[in-house]
Structure 1
Amino acid sequence: MSTALETPVRSAGPTQPPRPWAAVFALARFEARELRMTVSFLGVAVLYMAWIVWLTTQNQGDYPILQNVDRGTQGIPVLVGLAVMLGVNRAVLRSQRSDTDRHFDVLVVEPWRRTAAHVLSVVPAVLFTAVCVTVQFTWAALKPGAAGHGSPAELAVGPLTVLLFGVLGVLLARLVRSVFAAPLFLLLLLFGQLFVASPSDPGWTSWLSPVVTESGNTPFPSDLLGRPAAWHALYLTGLALFVALLAVLVSGGRTTVVKAAVAGSLALTLVGVVGQSGGTPEETKAARERASVTPEKVRSCIEHGRSSYCAFPEWTGRTADWAAVVDRVQDLAGGRAGSARLTVNQRIDARYGLGTDALLSPSTEPGHVTVGTNWGGNRVPEFAVAAASVLVTGNEKAGTEVCDARLVTIMWLALGGESDPMSAFRNVRLDDSVSGAAIILSPTETFSLSAEQTRIVAELLQKPRYSVAGKVKAKWTELTSPDTSTARVAHLLGVPAADRAADAAEEDGDSCER
C-alpha cells in the first residue's frame, strides 16, 4: 500500500487588495514633473520670476497701494495658465501620438482615473503661482511706504486662473483628440476677451473672464473699490471644479459620486456668477460720493510743524513724506510765505468708477494744497509745484492760472531743494525735456511754461542753491508781483539775458503773452 503526499493548492489571487488611487497619484507625480520640464512652462516661469525681481528694484514701487498690488498679481498668471493648458493637453494626447492607446486596455487604471491623474498634475503649477503671488504681494506690503489693504480673494485669482486653464486643457483633450484643439481654443479665448472684457466700465459679462483688473491711474481707498472679489473667486473655484469633474465624467467616470460632484460644482459656479453680477453696491456708491464731494467727513488731519495734513485713513502714515516736501519748498520762500500755514488735503474723485481718472479742480481756499493717492516718482515734484504755487499766489486756482514771470519763482521754489533738480524739472514737464515751451504737471490742472521761462528756470537750477535762495528771499515782493516782467526776474536772479533784443524778450518771455 502506497502513501500519497498531497500538497494544498494555493490561491493565485493577489495577496493585497488593489490600490488604483496609488497608481493615480504616481501617474500625477510623473505628469507634473513632465509638465514642469516643458519649454513653454519653463520659459514663462523664468519670465514670471524675473518680472517679480524687476518690480522689487524699481524706485517708483517704494510707495505701493496694496489694494492695487493684489490686482497687479493677476496678469502674469494668465500666461502661466496658458502654458499649462497647452502642456497638459499635449500630455493627455501623448498616447494617441505614440499609438499606445490600445496598450492601456490591459492596465488596472481606468481611463477616467488617468484623466484624474492629469488633472492632479496641474496642482504643482498652481502652487508655484501661489508662491509667486505671495512673494510679490508680501514684498510690497513690507515696504515702509506701503498703504492700504490687500484682499485674499483678489490674490487667489492668479492661482485659480492657472487651475482653470490647466483643467481646460485636460477637458479639450478628452473632447477633441487633436493637438490643434488647444491652440485654436486659445485664439478664440483671446478674440472673445476683446468683446467680453471692459476695463473702464465692467458689466456682468466682463466678470465671466478670469481676470478683471479694472484699474485707473488714481488708487481708491479699499472701502471704495466695490469689486465682487469674493464672489469672483467662488465663481473661478466652481468653474475649475466643474471643468475638471466634467473631464473625468466624459472619460468614463460615471459614478454617482462624480455625477453629484459635477452638479454641485455647477451650482457653485452659478452662485458665483449671480453674486458677481450685482454691480457696484449702493452703499459703495454713496461712500464714493461722500469721499469725493465732502472728503472732510472721512479724512483725518495730522499736524506736522506749521501746517496741517488731512488724509484718508489708509494714507495717514504718508503725511510725514508730504510734510518733508512742503518744508523743503517753504524754507526757500521769502516774506510771509516762509512762515505761512498751509493745509494739505488729500483728494480723489471716485464718483465715476475705478477705470476712470477724473481731473481734480484746483481749490480756491487760501493756503490749501491738493495731494493725490499716488506718491513717489513724478508725483513728488508735481506736489512740490502745487505747494509752491500756493505760496506765491495764495491759492491753487490762482496758481494754475498764472502765466507771467511768477512761474519762474514757482518752479525754482518747487525744484530748487531737490537732490537732482534738473531730473525733477524734466519729470514734471509733459514733454520730459528741459528746453522749449512745455506743459507743467500738478495734482490738479496743468499750466504752461514758455521757452524763455524754461531757459531761466534751467539756469537757476544749475546754480548753487544758496546763491539763488538769498536773492529770492531779498527780492520776494518783486519776484511775486504779477507786474514784474520775465526779463526783470532774470535780472534780479542773476540770469544772463537771452541772445535777442530786450524788447523781444519782454514780448515773448511770458507764456500768457505767447
Structure 2
Amino acid sequence: MALITIPWVLDLFNGSATSFRVLSHESANIQLPLLVLAAAAYLVTHQATIRPYRTGAILSEGAMPLPHWARSLAAGMGLLSFAVLGMLLAMARLTMFSLSEGAAGSLAIFEVLTVPAFVVAAGAIGMLIGRALRSAVAGILLFAVLAGGVIAAFYTASSASWLSLMVPLDPLDPGVLPSSLIDRPAGWHLLWLATLIVVVLVAALLIDRLPAKVGAPVLAIALAGATVAGAMQSQGPSPSVLGERAGVFLNPADLQNCRTIGIDRFCSFPEFESRIPAWKDVVDGVRSAVPTELTAQGSIAVRQSLDAVNGPMDSQGSLPLAVWAREGPLDEALATIPAPMSWAATGDGRLEEHDVLSFAVDVSATMVEGVPEPSDHTIVALCDAPAFLVLWGAARADQSTEAAFGGFLGSSQGGAVWTTTVRSSAGYSFSPSEVDLVAQLLAQPRDVADQAVASLGESLTNLDADIMEVAHLLNMPAPVQRPEQWACE
C-alpha cells in the first residue's frame, strides 16, 4: 500500500503532475502501479496456502467437518478483499485525475475492471502453486519467473503480450486518441482473466480432492472460454478502426466542435474541450510576449489533430493544413495551427511537453513577421533575431510552455532546441545561441525581461540583426557561440 500510494499523495502537492490527464488512457495506465498489489496477493495467498503443511497443522484438519476442497474454496474467497482494495485504489487515482485541470477523455470501465481481475488471478496462481508444490522456496522462484514474464510483456510488441496479466499503453503508437478510436481489446482481456481465474482455482481444488464429476466440466468450460477470449484479444485493432483513424487524421472537422474566443477560433474533439483554455493561454501569451511592431496582426485558427502515425500511408504523415484553412470561418485566419492531443505542464522533460513547446513555437512562428513556414518533412533552421523572437514568444507564453522549455533543456544535450508539428517531421530548430539568450531572459524578473523585449519593437527596424546585436539591445551578456557547422536558413 505504501509503495502504491506514497507517490500519489506526493502528487497531490504538485498539481501539474495530475493535470491534463486523458482518462481513457489513464484507465489503462493505472494497471501498472497496481501490479504491486497483485504481487502481494500472490505472496500472501501462497504463504497462507502452504502454512498448514509447513507447521504440521494439516494433520489435524481431517477432524473438521468440511472437506478439504471446500475449506480451500472458502480461503480463496479472501482474494475478493484484494479485488475490492485494488478497485478502490484505481478509482481514487482516476478521480484525482478527473478533478484536475485539463482532464479529458472518458473512463474505460473494462480497463479499470482489469485491476481487480488480475489481482485475483495472481492470488489464485499463488494458491495453485502452494497446493501443487507446498514449498516456500519453489513459490518464490516461480514468482520471480512469473514477474519476469509480466515485465517481458511490457516490451513485447506482439499479440502474445495480451496473455500477460496486463498490457500497458504504448505512448507512441498510436498516441493519444478519442475514446471511440482506441480499440483496445479490454473486454476480451477481462474475459480471459476471468476464465483464467476459474481454471486456476478449479485446478487447485482438484488437487484438494474436489470431485472430478464437478470440477472437470467446469474446468473444460473455463478452458474453452479462455481459448476463445485469448484468441480474440490477440487480433489487434480492426481494419475499420484503423481506416477511421486515417480519415479523422486527414479530416477531423466532422468529429470536432469549434469555439470562437475573442478573434481566434479553436476546434477540438468533444472529449478534449477542456484543453481549449490551455491553447488560448498560449496564443494570448505569444501575442503579449512578442513586440506588436514585429508581429503579423490577425486571428489564429487552432485545430486539434491526431498524431502523424495515424495518417494513411500515402499521406506520409502530412497534415492537410491548406484544406483545413478553407473550412468555413477558419479561412480568414493567419494560419491553421494543429494542436496536439497530449499536454503537460510538469517541466520534467516528458514526451507530452515536447508537443506543448512545438505547438507554442508554431503559434509564435505564425505571428512573427517573415518567418517561413516549414514544408512537409523539413526542419527550418531559424537563427538570429527571428529565431530569438519565435523562441522567446513560445517559451514566455505561459507556465506550461516555460515548463516545457525548461524540461527540454534539462533532458537534452548540446543546448539546441528543435520542435515538430504534432510529432510529424516538419518543424523548427534553434541554435544554442538563441536558446541561451532566451534562457538568460527567463531567469530575469518577469517585468524586467518583458520590458527589455518590448523595447526591441522600436530598436529593431528589421529582423536582419544577428543574435549578438539582439543581446546588446537587450543589455544581456553575449550568448554562447553558435557552432560553426550550424546551417541557418
Settle same-fold status: TM greater than 0.5.
yes
Counterpart check, 1:512 vs 2:487:
yes
Stretch moving more, 454-463 or 310-319:
454-463
Counterpart check, 1:374 vs 2:331:
no
Q: What is the rounded CA distance, in whole Å, between the counterparts of 1:349 and 1:167 in structure 2? A: 40
Residues 210 and 236, structure 1, Cα contact 8 Å, conserved in 2:
yes
Residues 422 and 458, structure 1, Cα contact 8 Å, conserved in 2:
no
Determine the structure 1 residue equivalent to 2:242. Answer: 285
Structure 1 residue runs of 5 or longer lacking an equivalent are: 1-44, 500-504
CA offsets 1:165-223 (integer angstroms, 9 cap, x no match) = 11111111221122222222222223444665555x331x2211110113215312211
Determine the structure 1 residue equivalent to 2:409. Answer: 429
Counting only pairs closer than 5 Å after superposition, residues 408-423 of structure 1 correspond to structure 2 as: 408-418=388-398
Q: What is the rounded CA distance, in whole Å, between the counterparts of 1:362 and 1:297 in structure 2? A: 15
Determine the structure 2 residue equivalent to 1:439. Answer: 417
Stretch moving more, 97-106 or 360-369:
360-369
Counterpart AA for 1:389: A
Counterpart AA for 2:297: S
Q: What is the rounded CA distance, in whole Å, between the counterparts of 2:440 and 2:101 in structure 1? A: 36
Determine the structure 1 residue equivalent to 2:470. Answer: 489
Cα separation, partners in 2 of 1:264 and 1:280, compared to 1, 3 Å:
same
3-state DSSP of counterpart to 2:471: helix
Cα separation, partners in 2 of 1:106 and 1:459, compared to 1, 3 Å:
closer
Counterpart AA for 2:167: V
Structure 2 residue runs of 5 or longer lacking an equivalent are: 326-333, 348-352
Stretch moving more, 328-337 or 94-103:
328-337
Cα separation, partners in 2 of 1:285 and 1:327, compared to 1, 3 Å:
same
Q: What is the rounded CA distance, in whole Å, between the counterparts of 1:197 and 1:328 in structure 2? A: 40
CA offsets 1:446-501 (integer angstroms, 9 cap, x no match) = 644334333433444326144224323335651xx3x33223333444445579xx
Counting only pairs closer than 5 Å after superposition, residues 27-66 of structure 1 correspond to structure 2 as: 45-58=1-14, 59-66=16-23
Residues 29 and 169, structure 2, Cα contact 8 Å, conserved in 1:
no
3-state DSSP of counterpart to 2:382: coil
Q: What is the rounded CA distance, in whole Å, between the counterparts of 2:318 and 2:408 in structure 1? A: 17
Residues 368 and 390, structure 1, Cα contact 8 Å, conserved in 2:
no
Determine the structure 1 residue equivalent to 2:202. Answer: 245
CA offsets 1:32-61 (integer angstroms, 9 cap, x no match) = xxxxxxxxxxxxx22122233234444132
Stretch moving more, 143-152 or 455-464:
455-464
3-state DSSP of counterpart to 1:156: helix
Cα separation, partners in 2 of 1:195 and 1:62, compared to 1, 3 Å:
closer
Stretch moving more, 456-465 or 75-84:
456-465
Q: What is the rounded CA distance, in whole Å, between the counterparts of 1:421 and 1:114 in structure 2? A: 60
Counting only pairs closer than 5 Å after superposition, residues 434-473 of structure 1 correspond to structure 2 as: 437-441=415-419, 443-444=421-422, 445=426, 447-461=428-442, 462=444, 464-473=448-457
Stretch moving more, 314-323 or 397-406:
397-406
Residues 347 and 372, structure 1, Cα contact 8 Å, conserved in 2:
yes
Determine the structure 2 residue equivalent to 1:397. Answer: 374
Q: What is the rounded CA distance, in whole Å, between the counterparts of 1:196 and 1:328 in structure 2? A: 43
Q: Looking at CA atoms only, which structure, 1 or 2, has the larger radius of gyration?
A: 1
Q: What is the rounded CA distance, in whole Å, between the counterparts of 2:108 and 2:209 in structure 1? A: 39
CA offsets 1:261-303 (integer angstroms, 9 cap, x no match) = 3333223322322321332112211111112233334333221
Q: What is the rounded CA distance, in whole Å, between the counterparts of 2:123 and 2:279 in structure 1? A: 47
Determine the structure 2 residue equivalent to 1:215. Answer: 170
Q: What is the rounded CA distance, in whole Å, between the counterparts of 1:282 and 1:112 in structure 2? A: 47
Q: What is the rounded CA distance, in whole Å, between the counterparts of 1:134 and 1:335 in structure 2? A: 51
TM-score by length of 1: 0.79
Name the Cα RMSD after superposition: 3.2
Cα separation, partners in 2 of 1:287 and 1:394, compared to 1, 3 Å:
farther
Q: What is the rounded CA distance, in whole Å, between the counterparts of 1:416 and 1:197 in structure 2? A: 38
Determine the structure 2 residue equivalent to 1:349. Answer: 307
Counterpart check, 1:235 vs 2:203:
no
Determine the structure 2 residue equivalent to 1:35. Answer: none
Cα separation, partners in 2 of 1:455 and 1:395, compared to 1, 3 Å:
closer
TM-score by length of 2: 0.82
TM-superposed CA distance for 1:381, in Å, is 4.3
